[in-house]
Each structure stands twice: as C-alpha cells, then as structure tokens.
Structure 1
Amino acid sequence: MTDETSARSSALPASAATGAAAPSGPGVPDWELRFRAPRVGLPEWAEDAPDRSLFVSNATGVFELYAWDRSTGAQRQVTDRPNGTTDGVLSPDGRWIWWFRDTDGDEFGVWMRQPFEGGEDVPAVPGLAPSYPAGLALGRDGTAVVGRSVDESADGEGEGGSSLHVVRPGGEPVEIYRHPESAGVGDLSYDSSLIAVEHTEHGDAMHSAIRVVTLDGKTVAELDDTKGGSEELGLMVMGFAPVAGDSRLLVGHQRGGRWEPMIWDPVTGEETALAIDLPGDIGAGWSPDGSALLVEHSHQARGELWWYDLTGRELSRIETPAGTVSGATARPDGTVEFLWSSAAQPPEIRSTTGRVVLDPPGAKAPGSVPVTDAWVDGPGGRVHALVQKPAGDGPFPCVFDIHGGPTWHDSDAFASGTAAWVDHGFAVVRVNYRGSTGYGREWTDALKHRVGLIELEDIAAVREWAVESGLADPERLVLSGGSWGGYLTLLGLGTQPESWSLGLAAVPVADYVTAYHDEMEALKAMDRTLLGGTPEEVPERFEASSPLTYVDEVRVPVYISAGVNDPRCPIRQVENYVRRLEQRGVPHEVYRYDAGHGSLVVEERIKQLRMEIDFVRRHLGV
C-alpha cells in the first residue's frame, strides 16, 4: 500500500486512531483526539474483481491492513502485529493479499500472503531470502515479480545491491536481474509478458532509467534520459496499459523541467507526447479501459485531479475541494475515488459521486486552522513556506517544522502534529526548501554536494522573514523535524547556533559517516549521488554536511527520539552524537523506542509528541 523509495521519508503517520480502551471524550485535548480519530487510507481494488479492496486503517490503535468486500460491505482485519503493517497488494483476481513482514519496523523481511476471505498466512515466495523490498508486481496468470535490495553483508553471495526474481505458478523464484546500484520493479504488463524495471545503473540514484525485459530477463527496450544531454533527467514507471494485447507503458519524464507523463511503446519504440498544459508537477494513471488518463496535478503545495481523454486529446477538470488530493483511483464505473484533506479539515476518502466512500465509525477528528502562504526571497530563488498560527496577534513562539525526504514537500494537507502546536499557542512554519519536490526539476536537483547547508540557507531566509514580519518571537524559535527534517534540525543547531532557542530531532541523521556505513543499501546509493561519492572518496563533503562536525557549537537544549531498529537513520550514529552532547554538558534528552523509522502505533506517537511539547514548555517557559 505504500511506495518504496530510497529517500529518508519519515514513516511517522500524520494522524492516527485508537482502540476502545484509549482515552477520549470530555477532558481529552483536541490534539490527542486528532491522532485517535479513526482514519482510513485510499482503498486499492483488484483489477479483475473490483468489489474486492484493501486499505490501511488505525481502527485498533495500530496501522494495519484491512480487506473490504464491497458487494457485501464486509470488512475484516488482515494483519495484526505489535508495530503495525502498511505494505500490502491485492492479486489481480482478488483471491490473495500479499503483505510484507519485517521485524519491529526494520523494513527487512519477506512477503507473506493470505486468502482474501481470511486464513493462514504463508510465505508468498518460499526459498527467497529476507531483504528490503524493491517493488512487487502480480500477474493475472499467477506470475509474481519480486524486487529485492540487500546490503553486502546480508547477501549469501557476498554481493549487495538490487535483484529481481520471477516466480511462475508452482515454480521456484528465478533471478533475472542483479546490479550493485538501486533498481526496482516498475510494473508487469497485462498479459504478464513484459516487466518494466526502474534502475540507476549509471550511478545517479536521483534519476532512474527504464528497461523493459521479458520474463527470462532479455532486454526488449531501454529508455534512458540520463545520457546524451548536459544534465541527467529522471524517468518513472506509471504503469502498463490495462488492456490485453497493449504493450504501451505510461512513463513520467522531466524533459520539460518538471514531472509529466508520456506514452512509450517498448515493442515499437514509439513515444507519444501528451499536451497537458498545467503548471507544476503532473502524475497520471490509466483509466480501467485504457482510453483516458487520471491526472494528479501538484502545484504550489496543493493537489487536484483532471481527466485526459486520449482520443480527443482533451483535458477536463474533476471538481475537488481546495486543499490537497493525496492519491486517487479511477473505478470501472467511471467514478473516481480520492484521498483529500486540507490543513483545516481532516482527511476523507471521497468520490466524484459526491459521497464519502469509506467512513470509519467513531468520533471525527477535530479540525484545525487554515494554512497561509509565504513567498520569501532566498539565495537560490523564491522559497515557499506554509504558515499556521493561533488566534491573536504575534509575535508568537514559533516551531519551524522541517519535512523529511528530502525529495518530498509540505502541502495544504491535514497534519495532526502541526495542529497540536497551534493548539498550544505556537505558530508553525513549514519550508519547502531547495531539494523539495513540486517546484520543478532544478529546485529538486539543487540539492547536491553542499547537502544540508543548502536547505538551511532557505530555512534561514524564511526565519528572517518570520521575525521581521512580526509572526515569530526571535527568543522562542524551535527548529524541529523528523527523518531528513531531524537531520536538518541537528545540522542547523550547529551551523546556526544563534538562530534557534532549542531543537527537536526525530529519527535524524546525526553522524553522516557512520550513518552511511550502517544504513540500508538504497540509501547508500542516494548519499553517493547527493554528496558525489563515498565517505572515503569525498571525506570533506561528508564532514561539511554532518551534524557531528558542528556539535561543539550547539548552545541550546536538544531533544532527540530514535527507533532502535531504524534502517534509514540507524541508532549507532545517533548515539555517537549524544555522547558528544554529554561530554560538553549540553542540556538534552533522548528517547529510544522499539521500532524503526517512526512508529505505526497511535499511543506511541502521542507519547512522543507529548514529550516534545513538555520539553519545549520546560525550556522556553511557555
């Protein structure tokens, strides 16, 4: 149900729910109720059995997978694990649910499967060793294509990197692809004859190429925009046409300076450009009959939907409320279901019929305040920031909540953590710094070699605006973030020591060299791309971008939380940073918890935010 990426995107859910035993009702603050309110993800449906759906919910207080038979209305919980489960796929015929089993959030494990109606969980591919997942595609004839990523020490042959395995019905897994660099399964064609592979064999983990191969691994065609030009451009697989005998592949490209779709037929070699004249980034997916595209348009931190008719080449808008569409799917009956929210209104699964598709029982999440936009001149161009503030006049104590990724962006979407700070009297500023997606290829690709320092230049420009405009109290400024945002928090406290009153860093990179050596293989590839090599090849760049380098300059209290099983920001490098804080006597607190890159347990997430709020109150006197 979630996309696998090589970015350090935070796994912390934006909102969550609780089981019956959790506190609710009078006396429980709104910020906790927002986390506990029952929430569901966008349902995915089986291509040949559209009444069978799979979705994620936190109805028990832990995010787990649920099956939904639309014909009867019956729903049942598929997985039940202490630290939650979110990765699941339905087979095209709707008979099987595949889900990924790791250990306590370490993201390393195997695919399991379970009948849609319920039953025993069994290994989906017996004999295939545990790995980090790198894509999965299931065919109508029972064929499966499994992508794997392993570290050198974890592979039985002593080789790390990526591999793809084909499993035919009743057969053993057969390796058809292996390479030291990152690669993954893009899609499997309608007739299970072609596999689209996204790969970075050229060594740039930020810009993938696409190779289409047969089930025995023979190359049919290659599409590579990283060659022949002055700049490397990326490609992404958006899916094969959902029609028998149709080999067309929908591909995302950056040839126009942003993400937009085109159609490529790997069998004939024909490329078809699509005249979709919209600003910002454009994603797309096929309609169920292959005659049109459902277009997801992202521009200036908002998201909306359009139809693109492939016969008439006409673009028509799908009416959605102002805010952000965070996912959409076109149904066989011509309707569209989409996950929508805004900063002020909690998420809902809506339909173009006008109804709410999947409305979980229980109390609804309280709303929050709308977001306003700020555009600030920065050293690399205009920086977009999103602002939410409490009632009254500033200056307010202010939290700069820095997003993870780094290839991600904050949007006008509901965030329970942000709303909690507003409830406590803080203004919240979220900055889409250079490296963020959604503002064109050049803005995203600006993040190279001076990693961390570039983003902090943009954050500093917005900080100056926030103070000068009267929004933020310069004596009560909190730098905060999770994952890459946690990394920028620790780096900012050391490189901008006079700018911040304290820092809150969740699952951060704290010691970049140690992090590189301990992290999952796909992230090693990303770091080599961002910094131009390994710590041994470009030691000066790793040193310049590592928070540990500047730890002696930190002058304010620091709160750090970290998962002991985190494969993205491993615990050893966090401990190295904490020891240095201890040696210098810097006020700090560290919370270690038994999970990976964030928690899928609602009460755990509430506990962590409560500890952060308490830390800020004590040290800022608010």
Structure 2
Amino acid sequence: MGDMTEITGHTTDPSAQDPAAAAAAASAPEWEQRFRAPRVSLPDWAEDAPDRALFVSNATGTYELYTWDRATGEQRQVTDRPNGTTDGVLTPDGESVWWFNDTDGDEFGVWMRQPFHGGQDGQPGDEPATPGLGASYPAGLAIGRDGTAVVGRSTDGDGTTVHVVRPGAAPVEIYRHRESAGVGDLSHDGTLIALEHTEHGDAMHSALRVVRPDGTTVGELDDTEGGTKELGLSVLGFAPVAGDPRLLVGHQRRGRWEPMIWDPTTGAETELAIDLPGDVVAEWYPDASALLVVHEFEARSELWRYEPEAGGAPVRVETPAGSVSGATARPDGTVEYLWSSAAQPPVVRSTSGAVVLDPPGLKAPASVPVEDVWVDGPGGRVHALVQRPAAPAEGPFPTVFEIHGGPTWHDSDAFASGPAAWVDHGYAVVRVNYRGSTGYGRAWTDALKHRVGLIELEDIAAVRDWAVKSGLADPEMLVLAGGSWGGYLTLLGLGTQPDDWALGLAAVPVADYVTAYHDEMENLKAMDRTLLGGTPEEVPERFEASSPLTYVDAVRAPVYISAGVNDPRCPIRQVENYVDRLKDRDAVHEVYRYDAGHGSLVVEERIKQVRLELDFARRHLTTGTDPSAA
C-alpha cells in the first residue's frame, strides 16, 4: 500500500505552509482540533483498474473529492467548491470521475465528468456527463464498461425517472413513477439493470425489478406483496464477473436485514447460512467467490467472509472493537475498512496490517469511550450510549441528549467530534437508539408509524428518567439536541415535554410539518406519506399531532435553531414559521442561518456552529464551566 503522499493542491497541514499557523492549530482547544484534523473516507476503486481510487477528504478545510493513483502514490484534488462535494463515482476503467454538481448544497443539480488525471494545462477538464438531462435530485447512478450510464433522477411533481445515457446519443427514459425509486446496479456485462422501487406506496420497504437497457422487465422481487406486508428489499450488487447475472439482495424475511442471492433470469433464490444476531449486509469479493459481510449489532460492527458455494459458517475478519463504517475487498484478497470508536478517531486500515491512508498534518485528539445502557421503555428495551466527562469523576452532570437523525439510522460506538466537544466542556452525553432506529431488527425500525415523533420521544423520556435516577444527569441541566430528524425531535420534545428540558438545540430541523411536506424534495414526501399514512390533506390530524409548530406555545426552555437557507430536506420556510411563533410571544430563542443546505461540509463553519451552541448553553445553563477555557 505504501505511505500516503501529501495531497497535491491545497492542504490544511499548517507545517507545510506557515509555522505560526501550525503552532496556532496545535494550541487550539482539543474539540476544535478534532474537526480540523484531516480525514479521509474509505477509497473506492475502479473495478477494471484497481490501482485507481477515489476518496473524500477535508484536507482543504472543505470536504472534496480526490483521486489516488495507488501505483504512483499521486493524489489530486478533483473538486473545489465553496460548499464542498462528496458525491462521486469512478468509471469501471478508472479513466473518469463523475461528480454531482448542485448549487450551494441544495442537492439539485447535474452529473459532471472529469478525467482521472485532470484536463490539460492544469485545468480540471470538467464537462457535463449527461447532456440532455436537466437538473434533478439524484436517484442512483450506475456506469457500464462501454460508457453507458444508468441515471436515476427525482424532480418535484414527476417522481422518479431512470434514463439510459449512451456515449454520443440522446438520453432514453426507461422508467417513470410518482413514488420514490432508484438505480441499484448495472450488471458486469451491462445487460441487466437493478432498480429499487416503492410503487406500492410504502417508501420504507422497497421492491426490486431487474430490467434490460430498453426498459423491458427480466424479473420482479416484491416481499411487500403489493404493500400489504412491511418487508423490504435492497440491491447489494450484481456478481462482478462476466456472464454472471446473480444479484446480491438484502431482505427482511426473518425480522432483520440479511443477504441472499437472486438470479433474476431464472427466479432462483439462494438463502445464505449466516447466523448472526444483528443486521447483516454484504458485498461480493472481486472474483465473486465469497461475500464480505458487515454485521451490525448493538451499536458495533464487525466483518466476516462467507463462501456461498462452500457452505459452512462465515469466518471472522479481525477488526478492533468499535464501528466499521465502510469496507471493501481488494483483488489481492485483503480487506480495507474505515474504522473508529467513540474514543479513537477514524482510520482506513487493511487486513494486511497497514494503514491505507494517513492524511498529513494535525491528528485528532482521542475522546472518552461510551458505556452501554439498556432501559425498559414502553415499546421494549431501549439502547443508549453514554459518555461521561473525565472530571469531575462523579455526577450528576449537565447532560446533553444528542438525538440522531434519520430516523432510520442509529448511533454507534464511532468517533463523533460533536459529542466529544460537549464532553470536553464538562457535559455527559447520552445518545438514544429510539424506536425507528436501525440495527435492532425490523420490528423496532417499523414501529415508527402514524404517531411519528411522539413514539421516539417516549423512548427518550424513559432514558431521561434513568439518567436522572441513576445520578448521571442533573435534572435542572438537561439539554435536548439534535440535527435533521434529531432537530425535529428536539423541537417536538420541547413542546410536548416542557417540564423535562432546560434547553433545546435544534439543527436543520422539521419545525412545521405541513409546510415542510409541501416544500421538501419528492422522495421525502413519499417517506412522510408512509410514516403518517397520507398527505397533510388526507390525515391532517396526524400531521398536527406530530408537528412541533402545534406545541410551540408550550415551549418554556430557551431554544437555539440553526438552519441552511438552501436545505431541500428541512426547508427554511417552515423553520421561519416556527421562529415567527416564538417571536410573537417573546420566547427566549436564537436563530443562526447559513448559506448551505442540509448541514455544512466546511470545517470552520461546522466549528462555528458548535461554538455557538456551546455559548448558548453557557449563557442559559449554570454549568460552572466556561466553554472558552476548554
């Protein structure tokens, strides 16, 4: 693998530019250093040119795409945009990088193409990758060996369309439906296209269709039985060898996610004997002889190798305790993976023992480990992750309930700079994997229906009661915080549980559910119809019961809100509606608006937002801790 060479172009390595800047960075508070430390994603590699790779890094201070020629060690910055870029794909031959070009983080744009080594005369060499297709929200992309691309698009009013784009020819539409859908994969020989769709109206549980490039159907797989059963499927990838039509599929038939193999040309399904207790996903090894299995269980993850033809049990691929947020099997049989824990920052490792990518410059300081807590809740046992400040040794502490987004996501034993910042400032941090979270079985995730928001808050309340009774949390200094869906639950919790919280910090939240529905991107409208059972006009009572705006007049805690003015997921107009109601009654609140979308990819902007939150808490809670001194 070799050592990582310095990224060409810009770098945030202060020692490479200015000794004074290096000294200033090293003397900054540790919580800021965690954000500024250069990070890299797990490199994606070109299927037919495995020495050519693509990864994301914040080396310039903004998350951007980089190419890496592993044979020469050369790395090159591909994109350079004010609000950053993270969506990119290598062509199978490794000759080009496709990247998604939106406007100021609004997620609405077009695919661009750039040569792997850049254009002539030091210019990037960008050109439109799909001429003839207008701007849209992305809904999947697959690129074939002959240059053909299958492009999924989502637009307001039209739902989802899928187009086949051949070099030099006009795009051809092969799929259209009002409900959400997406491109899953393209077979090795380019003759089969796998689509995920929710034509049955349940956006939480997809069905699969494999079609030819002309749009004609080869095979269908639908575990929802037309929407009457809450069983979903997902595309994990076609076998990566010529002439093999088998598709690796994720299914939920036994109450959790696990893989199987489906041949859409014959309809044959092969169940896999992977007996692990949590959710399981997988991808093919490059020669299709085995599967690389990622096992998620109780907020941790691990890797296994499984050989379908040989039978027998999967074999453990050794990784440290913590979380694997991405893994890939290389042609030489080694496995590369992005690993971290709550205490240790992320690193791209290999089963060869090497560190695959080690960015130069500042290294992120460690944080404290998490403790596992299980609390009896109204819907079953709730898992929470707790971090305590190093000093003082005993509580009760001012405590931040940092609520994850999604909602179909989960907090894990992984490194997170935001919670670590609160711990540095003397707060305990509690993260709750409420009903609706993934990783605890299908029933736990699917419990989030109709009483949206209120269900999650019941689980959070149960953990809150434990935190106070156990002596961890000071009941007078409880902060409810989160971003996206976590921001939504923060505002809803402040209104429906006004006696429980001393402060609220809501980032990019849903604040007015009805207005949010009408303004948000199309696939999120489909998700909301699934969660609430219809549109605001069809089930107005459910939207009213689940909207923070309904309870805004009951909010008594000071509330801080941050929002991106270009956010297509939690649009700004519905946030302003909520803020106007706070203003009308002179409620204690502050609002920070920034020029980006659903969050920011700019490091200094993210630090600014955390600093503002810390300062708001300092001014409105008597913590005895001065954030500026930490």
2:3 maps to none
1:149 maps to 154
1:224 maps to 222
Residues 427 and 552 of structure 1, relative CA distance in 2, 3 Å threshold: same
Alpha-carbon separation, structure 2, partners of 1:27 and 1:361: 18
1:171 CA drift (Å): 1.2
Within-5 A mapping of 1:332-481:
332-391=331-390, 392-481=393-482
1:4 maps to none
Q: How far does the alpha carbon of each residue in 1:139-166 deviate from its partner, in whole angstroms, 9 at most, with x for none?
A: 01111000000002xxxxxxx2000000
User: Which AA in structure 1 matches 2:130?
Assistant: V
Within-5 A mapping of 1:126-165:
126-152=131-157, 160-165=158-163
Does the aligned pair in 2 maintain the 1:378–1:458 contact within 8 Å? Answer: yes
1:168 CA drift (Å): 1.6
1:228 CA drift (Å): 7.2
User: Which AA in structure 2 matches 1:105?
Assistant: G
Within-5 A mapping of 1:19-98:
20=14, 24-98=24-98
Q: How far does the alpha carbon of each residue in 1:180-214 deviate from its partner, in whole angstroms, 9 at most, with x for none?
A: 00010000000000000000000000000000000
User: Which AA in structure 2 matches 1:90?
Assistant: L
2:257 maps to 259
User: Which AA in structure 1 matches 2:359?
Assistant: P
| 2:600 is aligned with 1:578 | no
Within-5 A mapping of 1:223-622:
223-227=221-225, 231-314=229-312, 315-391=314-390, 392-622=393-623
1:55 CA drift (Å): 0.1
Alpha-carbon separation, structure 1, partners of 2:227 and 2:419: 42
Alpha-carbon separation, structure 2, partners of 1:372 and 1:263: 37
Alpha-carbon separation, structure 2, partners of 1:276 and 1:521: 36
1:231 CA drift (Å): 2.7
1:621 CA drift (Å): 2.3
Alpha-carbon separation, structure 2, partners of 1:196 and 1:311: 23
Does the aligned pair in 1 maintain the 2:370–2:385 contact within 8 Å? Answer: yes
Does the aligned pair in 1 maintain the 2:26–2:33 contact within 8 Å? Answer: no
**SS of equivalent to 1:465:** helix
* TM-score for both structures, normalised by structure 1: 0.95
Alpha-carbon separation, structure 1, partners of 2:593 and 2:228: 46
Candidates 161, 178, 181, aligned match of 1:180: 178
Alpha-carbon separation, structure 1, partners of 2:238 and 2:298: 29
Alpha-carbon separation, structure 1, partners of 2:165 and 2:111: 13
* TM-score for both structures, normalised by structure 2: 0.94
1:318 CA drift (Å): 0.5
Alpha-carbon separation, structure 2, partners of 1:230 and 1:178: 22
Does the aligned pair in 1 maintain the 2:183–2:195 contact within 8 Å? Answer: yes
1:14 maps to none
2:206 maps to 208
Alpha-carbon separation, structure 1, partners of 2:267 and 2:318: 36
1:9 maps to none
**SS of equivalent to 1:517:** helix
Q: How far does the alpha carbon of each residue in 1:224-271 deviate from its partner, in whole angstroms, 9 at most, with x for none?
A: 000079632000000000011100000000000000000000001100
Indicate the larger mover: 169-178 or 247-256. Answer: 169-178
Query: What is the number of residues matched between the two proteins?
Result: 599
Alpha-carbon separation, structure 2, partners of 1:593 and 1:311: 53
User: Which AA in structure 2 matches 1:327?
Assistant: G
Q: How far does the alpha carbon of each residue in 1:514-536 deviate from its partner, in whole angstroms, 9 at most, with x for none?
A: 00000000000000000000000
Within-5 A mapping of 1:7-22:
18=12, 20=14
Does the aligned pair in 2 maintain the 1:18–1:62 contact within 8 Å? Answer: no
% of aligned pairs identical? 80
Indicate the larger mover: 25-34 or 514-523. Answer: 25-34
Does the aligned pair in 2 maintain the 1:389–1:426 contact within 8 Å? Answer: yes
User: Which AA in structure 1 matches 2:502?
Assistant: S
User: Which AA in structure 2 matches 1:136?
Assistant: L
**SS of equivalent to 1:357:** strand
Does the aligned pair in 1 maintain the 2:26–2:362 contact within 8 Å? Answer: no
1:172 CA drift (Å): 1.2
Does the aligned pair in 2 maintain the 1:19–1:61 contact within 8 Å? Answer: no
Runs (4+) of structure 1 moved beyond 3 Å?
17-27
**SS of equivalent to 1:493:** helix
Alpha-carbon separation, structure 2, partners of 1:277 and 1:421: 39
Does the aligned pair in 2 maintain the 1:262–1:274 contact within 8 Å? Answer: yes
User: Which AA in structure 2 matches 1:147?
Assistant: G
Does the aligned pair in 2 maintain the 1:511–1:576 contact within 8 Å? Answer: yes
Does the aligned pair in 2 maintain the 1:97–1:116 contact within 8 Å? Answer: yes
Indicate the larger mover: 305-314 or 590-599. Answer: 305-314
Alpha-carbon separation, structure 2, partners of 1:311 and 1:261: 15
**SS of equivalent to 1:582:** helix
**SS of equivalent to 2:357:** coil
1:11 maps to none
Alpha-carbon separation, structure 2, partners of 1:132 and 1:77: 24
User: Which AA in structure 2 matches 1:350?
Assistant: R
5+ residue gaps, structure 2: 1-10, 120-124, 624-630
Q: How far does the alpha carbon of each residue in 1:533-563 deviate from its partner, in whole angstroms, 9 at most, with x for none?
A: 0000000000000000000100010000000
1:12 maps to none
Alpha-carbon separation, structure 2, partners of 1:293 and 1:550: 49
1:598 CA drift (Å): 0.1
Alpha-carbon separation, structure 1, partners of 2:13 and 2:568: 29
1:101 CA drift (Å): 0.1
Alpha-carbon separation, structure 1, partners of 2:226 and 2:256: 19
Q: How far does the alpha carbon of each residue in 1:427-462 deviate from its partner, in whole angstroms, 9 at most, with x for none?
A: 000000000000000000000000000000000000
1:312 CA drift (Å): 1.3
5+ residue gaps, structure 1: 1-16, 153-159
Alpha-carbon separation, structure 2, partners of 1:520 and 1:25: 39
Choose between structure 1 and 2 for higher RCO, CA contacts under 8 A separated by at least 6 residues. Answer: 1
**SS of equivalent to 2:27:** coil
Alpha-carbon separation, structure 1, partners of 2:404 and 2:252: 23
Alpha-carbon separation, structure 1, partners of 2:310 and 2:619: 63
2:126 maps to 121
Indicate the larger mover: 430-439 or 224-233. Answer: 224-233
1:569 CA drift (Å): 0.1
**SS of equivalent to 1:541:** helix
**SS of equivalent to 2:608:** helix
User: Which AA in structure 2 matches 1:257?
Assistant: G
Alpha-carbon separation, structure 2, partners of 1:515 and 1:18: 38
Alpha-carbon separation, structure 1, partners of 2:327 and 2:607: 29
